[in-house]
Amino acid sequence: MIFTTDVQFRPALDANQQNAYIGKMFSEDAMAFADFTERHVGEQIKLYVCDTMLVEATLRAQILSGDIMLVGEDAVILMDSFLRDGCP
């Protein structure tokens, strides 16, 4: 498990032109995430924001860039709320 507070999210569109968010990690957080994803390729991971699970996915490859994409209506609605109102 890794914890980070240094992620900046911005609205985006996914490959199907649906609303999404791209999160960008910086510095040590991106390196820690790259190490984590390398160790857990092929496993299910969960991403939490404000103690709320946004997405559960299977890692298909190591993520070196520090970028993550949140897709799916439920995740986007929750992220909209967190960015607008802060954590509950």
User: What distance in Å separates the CA atoms of residue 68 and residue 40, rounded to the nearest whole number?
Assistant: 15
pLDDT reported for residue 65: 92
User: What distance in Å separates the CA atoms of residue 72 and residue 61, rounded to the nearest whole number?
Assistant: 20
- Burial (0-12, 13-18, 19+ Cβ within 10 Å), 5: exposed
State CA 84 to chain mean position distance: 17
8-56 pLDDT per residue, tens: 899 999 999 999 999 999 888 889 889 999 999 999 999 888 888 888 9
pTM recorded for the entire structure: 0.79
Q: Which SS3 state, helix, strand or coil, does residue 48 take? A: strand
* Residue boundaries of the structural domains of the chain: 7-85
Class of domain 7-85: alpha beta
pLDDT reported for residue 88: 76
